[in-house]
Every structure is written in C-alpha cells, then in structure tokens.
Structure 1
Amino acid sequence: MEGPVEMNKNVCLICGYNELEEIPYYSYFAGSNEICPCCGFEFGVDDFDCDEFDHEGLTDQEIVEKSHIIWRKHWIENGLELFNPQIFSPEFRNGKFLKRDYLEIQMKKNLGLDFNDI
C-alpha cells in the first residue's frame, strides 16, 4: 500500500485507531478479520465485500484502497459512531460517538490524513 501507513503497525487504515490486536493485512492483502473497535471495519471482509464499485480488473490493493476511502467517508458522514464505545474513555467520546477533534488528531498522527481533505 502506498502512503504513510506501515503494514507492520496495528493501526486501523480507516480511522487511525492504533491499538488493533493484529496487523490489518498479511501478505497479498489477506485480511486479519479483526474488527476495529473504533469504526467497525472488518479487515478482509468489508473491503472485498464493498459493492459500491466494480471490482473486476482491479488488483487486491486497488480494491482495498477504494473500499477504505468509501468506508471512511460513510463512517464520517454517519457521525463517527463507535463500534465499541466502552473501550474509549469519556474524554474521547461524546456518548457513543467519537469526538471529532480526537478523530482529527488520531487520523493525522496515525494515518497522515488531514480530516478536512476527506
């Protein structure tokens, strides 16, 4: 994958949550099947099951990258709902939703993404 994310880190490639138990992908984009407790993305499932674009003719890397962009956009548009809010301290969440300012820091620090460019 291109960009600032290193494959050996346990960082969610959607939201930047940096405490996944496993790396998101193994060799050849085989997903870990871990579900991010922050955004709810399941690596190896939600990427290849994304039906919002035609997968034909695309490499696994292209499929993964496109699905990440789509999932991230939908998650943000739907209000940053936490998949497992109990693991976040109240200072980082607003009810069951991630605070936007916390997400901005998380995404910038762990993914190199500027929230305002998404």
Structure 2
Amino acid sequence: MEGSVEMNKNICLICGYNELEERPYYSDFAGSNEICPCCGFEFGMDDFDCDEFDHEGLTDKEIVEKSHDIWRKQWIENGIELFNPKIFSPEVRNGKFLKRDYLVLQMKKNLGLDFNDI
C-alpha cells in the first residue's frame, strides 16, 4: 500500500493499532483474516464484503482503501467502541476510550492520519 504505512508492518490500517499478530495483507491484497482487537476490522473479510459501494470496475487496492475509509468513519461515528477492551487498560472504560487523545495519537503516529479530517 502507498502512503506512510508499509504493507509488511503489523499495523491496523483502520485505527493504527500497532500490535497485530500478522500483516493485514499479503501479496495481491489477500487478507490475513486477523481481527483488530481495537476496531474489530477483519482483514480479508470486512474489506471485500463491504456493501457500502459498488466494487465493479475497482482494483483490489481501491476496494481495500475505500472499505478502510468507510469502516474507520463508521467506527469513529459510533463512538470508537473497542472490539476487545480487555487488552486496553486504564485508557478504557465500558469498552470505549476514555481519552480521545489516545486514538488521535495512535492514528497520527501509525497511519499519518489527522483524526479531525476523517
């Protein structure tokens, strides 16, 4: 993938969580099927199964990137609920980040995204 995140890093391309066990994608955008414990995105499933847009005529890369943008926006709009809050302690209460700043930093540092532009 282009941009500040290399395809071989174990960083979630949705939320910037940097402790995935596997790379999100292998060659030809084959997903790892790992589910991010932070945002809950499953690579190889939630991207190509996204029915929010027409996939016809798009490359796999375009489908993946568009799916990421949609998932990220919905995740933020729905209150940044954590998929597995048990791995995030003191920053989390009732499955949600206590400090929005934590997510802002995670996304900026690991994805080069400005939270306010999403």
- The TM-score bracket by the shorter chain reads over 0.9
In the other structure, the counterpart of 2:93 is: 94
In the other structure, the counterpart of 1:74 is: 74
In the other structure, the counterpart of 1:10 is: 10
In the other structure, the counterpart of 2:37 is: 37
Residue 95 of structure 1 and its aligned partner are, at CA, apart by 2.5
Listed as ranges, the gaps of 5+ residues in structure 1 are none
SS of match in other structure, 1:69: helix
Residue 94 of structure 1 and its aligned partner are, at CA, apart by 3.1
TM-score by length of 2: 0.97
In the other structure, the counterpart of 2:26 is: 26
In the other structure, the counterpart of 2:113 is: 113
Q: Counterpart of 2:52 in structure 1: which amino acid?
A: E
Matching of residue 55 in structure 1 with residue 55 in structure 2: yes
Q: Counterpart of 1:24 in structure 2: which amino acid?
A: P
Q: For 2:14 and 2:70, how far apart are their aligned partners in 1?
A: 9
Q: Percent same amino acid among aligned pairs?
A: 84
Listed as ranges, the gaps of 5+ residues in structure 2 are none
Residue 3 of structure 1 and its aligned partner are, at CA, apart by 1.0
Question: Considering only aligned residues, what root-mean-square deviation do their CA atoms show, in Å?
Answer: 0.7
> After TM superposition, where is structure 1 displaced by more than 4 Å over at least 4 residues in a row?
none
Q: For 2:93 and 2:17, how far apart are their aligned partners in 1?
A: 17
Q: For 1:33 and 1:115, how far apart are their aligned partners in 2?
A: 26
TM-score by length of 1: 0.97
**1:13-62: CA deviations, max 9, x gaps?**
00000000000000000000000000000000000000000000000000
In the other structure, the counterpart of 2:85 is: 85
